[in-house]
Amino acid sequence: MLEIADTVEPKRLQDDLIERLCTTLSGYLDQNQVRDCIRAYEFGAAAHAGQFRKSGEAYICHPVSVAITLAEMRMDASGIMAAILHDVIEDTSISKKELGEQFSQEVAELVDGVTKLSKIDGKSQSQAEAQAENVRKMFLAMGKDLRVILVKLADRLHNMQTLGVMPAEKKRRIARETLDIYAPIANRLGMNKIRHRLESLSFEAMYPLRYTVLTNAIKKARGNRSKIIDTIESAIKMRLDQVDLHCDVSGREKDVYSIYQKMLQKKVSLSSIFDVYAFRIFCDDVDTCYRALGIIHNLYKPIPGRFKDYIALPKANGYQSLHTIVIGPYGVPVEIQIRTHEMHRMAESGIAAHWLYKSDDDKTEKFQARANEWLRDLLEIQKSAGDSLEFIDNLKVDLFPQEVFVFTPKGGIIKIPQGATVVDFAYAVHTDIGNACVSARIDKQLVPLQTRLENGMTVEVITASWARPNPLWLNYVITAKARSSIRNFLKHFKQQEAISLGRRLLDKELQVMHLRLENIEESRIRALLEVTGMQSLNDLLGDIGLGNKMPFLIAKRLTQDDIYANIKLNDVDQIQKTALVIKGTEGMVITLAKCCRPIPGDSIIGYFNPGKGIVVHHHECRNRTVFLKTHTSWLDVEWSSEVAGDFPAEIRITVLNQRGSLATIASTISELGSNIENVTVVDQDDRVCVDLITLTVKDRVHLAKIMRRLKELSIVIKISRVRA
SS (H, E, C) 665-703: HHHHHHHCCCCEEEEEEEEECCCEEEEEEEEEECCHHHH
Report d(CA 204, CA 202) in Å as an integer: 5
Report d(CA 64, CA 40) in Å as an integer: 10
Helix (H) or strand (E) holding 438: strand 437-442
Active-site residue flag, 365: no
333-340 vs 277-283, strand pairing mode: parallel
Report d(CA 142, CA 375) in Å as an integer: 8
The catalytic position among 57, 76, 91, 380 is 91
Report d(CA 240, CA 295) in Å as an integer: 7
- Which residues, at least 6 apart from 700, have a Cβ–Cβ distance to it below 8 Å? 599, 600, 601, 602
User: How would you list the strands of the sheet with 613-618, edge to edge?
Assistant: 580-582, 634-639, 604-609, 613-618, 590-592
- Which residues, at least 6 apart from 294, have a Cβ–Cβ distance to it below 8 Å? none
CA quadruple 386, 390, 396, 398: dihedral sign: negative
- Which residues, at least 6 apart from 415, have a Cβ–Cβ distance to it below 8 Å? 313, 316, 401, 403, 404, 405, 428
Q: Which residues of 297-323 are buried (b: 16+ CB within 10 A; e: fewer)?
A: eebbebeeeeeeebbeebbbbbbbbbb
CA quadruple 352, 353, 357, 358: dihedral sign: negative
Q: How many CA atoms lie within 13 A of 578 on its CB side?
A: 13
Active-site residue flag, 133: no
CA quadruple 598, 600, 605, 606: dihedral sign: positive
- Say if residues 61 and 11 touch (Cβ distance below 8 Å): no
634-639 vs 580-582, strand pairing mode: parallel
The catalytic position among 9, 90, 129, 377 is 90
C-alpha angle 535-538-544 in degrees, rounded to nearest 5? 105
**Would you please indicate which residues are annotated as catalytic (active-site) residues?**
90-91
